[in-house]
């Protein structure tokens, strides 16, 4: 089965959005789309007005914390969280929308995505968080791994 051309288009845009990331470990970009319209975007980085890891370093890196663990020690927000917050700040309904993300969401983001009534998540890169996969399955959110052709 051939995938929709829109998936290619939106996944390309997630890559562009990810270039705004200020994370030293992983650059992630996210879009929330409904009816082929981009409703919100997000990238991972420190909250607005705060110093970024590019400026002060990464506490998780300094402590040798592996990817996918101890999220609470990171000063940055995930791309998915920033996209959800952008929609909220601007009063944009995202129910039944599709999330396009450069990487599989973590369990924290999976729970937020489920509560936001997102219908589908399309992602490119893996992330070491099997609990997130369980959340998506139980919540009935379609999870699609995007493969480059």
Does residue 142 carry a catalytic annotation? no
Which of the four pLDDT bands, split at 50, 70 and 90, describes residue 98?
A: very high
24 or 144, which is more confident:
144
pTM recorded for the entire structure: 0.92
> CB-hemisphere CA count at 13 Å for 100?
25
Average confidence (pLDDT) over 92-114: 97
Residue 109, annotated ligand binder? yes
Active-site hit among 55, 61, 69, 80: 80
Residue 36, annotated ligand binder? no
Residue 106, annotated ligand binder? yes
Q: What are the pLDDT digits (tens) for 40-83?
A: 999 999 998 998 888 888 888 889 888 777 878 888 899 999 99
pLDDT for residue 73: 82
Residue (of 46, 39, 49) closest to 10 by Cα position: 39
Q: Which domains does the chain have, with CATH numbers?
A: 6-148 (3.40.140.10)
């Amino acid at each position: 089965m051939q995938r929709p051309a829109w998936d290619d288009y939106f996944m390309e845009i997630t890559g562009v959005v990810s270039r705004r990331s200020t994370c030293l470990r992983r650059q992630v970009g996210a879009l929330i789309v409904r009816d082929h319209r981009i409703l919100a975007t997000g990238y991972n980085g420190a909250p607005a007005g705060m110093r970024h890891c590019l400026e002060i370093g990464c506490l998780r890196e300094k402590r040798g914390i592996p990817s996918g663990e101890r999220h609470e020690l990171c000063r940055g927000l995930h791309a998915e969280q920033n996209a959800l917050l952008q929609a909220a700040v601007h009063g944009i309904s995202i129910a039944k929308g599709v999330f396009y993300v450069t990487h599989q969401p973590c369990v924290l983001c999976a729970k937020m995505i489920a509560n936001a009534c997102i219908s589908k998540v399309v992602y490119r890169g893996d992330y070491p968080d099997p609990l997130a996969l369980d959340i998506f399955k139980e919540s009935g959110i379609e999870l699609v791994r995007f493969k480059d052709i």
